[in-house]
Copies of this chain bind each other. A is one copy, B any other.
Amino acid sequence: MYLYERSKQMKPGVVDASISTDGLLDILSKSEVARLLDTSQSGLYRLFRNCSLAVLNSGSYLDDGKELLERYRSFDIRIVQEERGIKLELVGVPAIAFVDDKMIRGIREHLVAVVRDVLYANEELNRFDLNTREGTTDAVFHFLRNAKVLIPQIPNLVVCWGGHSISRDEYDYTKQVGYQLGLRGMNICTGCGPGAMKGPMKGATIGHSKQRIKNGRYVGISEPGIVAAESPNPIVNELVIMPDIEKRLEAFARTGHGFVVFPGGAGTMEEILYLLGVLLHPDNQPIPFPLVLTAPAGAKDYLQRLDQFIGSTLGREAQNQYEIIVHDPEAVARYLASGMQQVKDFRQETDDAYYFNWLLKIERDFQVPFKPTHDNMRSIDLRSDQPKHMLAAGLRRAFSGIVSGNVKDEGIRAIEQHGHFEIVGDREIMEPVDSLLSSFVKQNRMKLSTEDYQPCYRIIR
């Protein structure tokens, strides 16, 4: 007998690799290859490289876009034409993307999705009129269609939102909910990072396996700013990198058939506020839209606090848009299953597509990209005497800015340079905001690193 006991190996470094895309990658034209490799200002190289790096860092949970880019500064990616298609030549790749020198297949597929989406966003999106509601929605539709995410299946896609930085107990709970959803044949869509974005997919994978569902869908919808901070999990088998955060949110809203919100931080708040803002529009009242807030018993307080925040800022009508279910994965799954049935019936009656919620009205306020500069942050209108859905739009922007300051390359740099974002608003609004954010900080929901989170914002009443 030989007692073999290895000390845990060091965080692996970087490797070089040449990756065949054999059939995965849509065949590229010569001009497409040229543009992806174009390092000039107008070229796509930088975006292509950074998104590629992000998906390659999958599994290493580093919620800091700036740190990622700095750590793998020498990373480089080239596209080479070959007789069977395209080969990717990679230099300085995080070794974590490999198992025994072979890149994980799921990650290879993500690289291919990056190529596809970077090209589409920059070549084909131009023909849509992004200054109109219809044009923007059309662009979102075509983007998703090009990514092959629009599938005329019976409604079964559950969008799961929640924090990337959650407790073990909360994480296990997201797995259990995913498992119950998977057992019922439902598919999962998330923002595709760690924590609540990964747990439901893992759970659903086991549920699908027991039901012999081989084409289970694990859809991840990201955008260039967020993907670097929250690398997609390789379970994600349909990755889309939307051009910006607002189109990403619209993609969720129009493709999801049901929505589950787990505990989270600022990013989760951004998502809830977006949805509530949209749902509060009178035109959307008749549309069935199953939405559940859920958490394990230990996070019951969190749910209550969240519910109170919504009540005190957006009112009872907003609270009526969702159900709260504490610690009952089966109940969550059953609630969604019955909601799906209503969605199905409604789409049939109205001849609306299963795969795209055309009827949902999304105002320009929720479509126009918000750039979280210090000026823009300070100018967000957070007065209490405006229509509730306008207020929701404002609050959504505020939380969006905080996410940027927390984890995105651009946001982190802005904070480093100019100090805190300032968020200004009426006392009736700012007090609940302040209190909610403080609780997030206390509960370590803002960043993965457990110690000493330094807020990137200042509340001004």
Contact = CB atoms under 8 A, between A and B. Distances in A.
B328 A5 contact: yes
12 contacts: A1-B323, A4-B324, A5-B327, A31-B138, A81-B353, A84-B353, A85-B353, A99-B183, A105-B212, A105-B213, A127-B127, A209-B237
Nearest to A318: B1
Interface string A58-98: 00000000000000000000001111110000000000000
A132 to B, nearest CB: 11
Interface in A196-233: 202, 205-206, 209-214, 218
A287 interface: no
Given A6-B331, A353-B83, A30 B138 contact: yes
A385 to B, nearest CB: 24
Interface stretch (A240-248, A354-362, A368-376, A450-458): A354-362
A68 to B, nearest CB: 20
Contacts of A218: 209
Given A106-B212, A209-B205, A212-B106, A6 B328 contact: yes
Contacts of A105: 210-213
A352 interface: yes
Nearest to A30: B358
Contact of A325 (B4, B123, B142): B4
A26 interface: yes
Given A83-B348, A138-B30, A324-B4, A152 B23 contact: yes
A324 B1 contact: yes
A287 to B, nearest CB: 14
Nearest to A141: B29
A106 B83 CA distance: 31
Interface string A240-275: 000000000000000000000000000000000000
Interface in A97-138: 99-100, 104-106, 109, 123-124, 126-127, 134, 138
Contacts of A351: 80-83
A100 B181 CA distance: 12
Given A210-B106, A353-B83, A326 B99 contact: no
B1 A326 contact: no
B141 A85 contact: no
B1 A307 contact: yes
List the number of copies, as a whole number: 4
A299 interface: no
Interface string A337-368: 10000001001100111111010000000000
A26 B22 CA distance: 24
A217 to B, nearest CB: 12
A439 interface: no
A291 B324 CA distance: 50
A330 to B, nearest CB: 8
Interface in A301-328: 307, 311, 316, 319-320, 322-328
Nearest to A6: B328
* Among A4, A211, A319, residue most surrounded by chain B Cβ atoms (within 10 Å): A4
A237 B212 contact: yes
A2 B85 contact: no
B4 A355 contact: no
* Among A83, A141, A184, A328, residue most surrounded by chain B Cβ atoms (within 10 Å): A83
B1 A320 contact: yes
A100 B351 CA distance: 28
A190 to B, nearest CB: 15
A212 B334 CA distance: 29
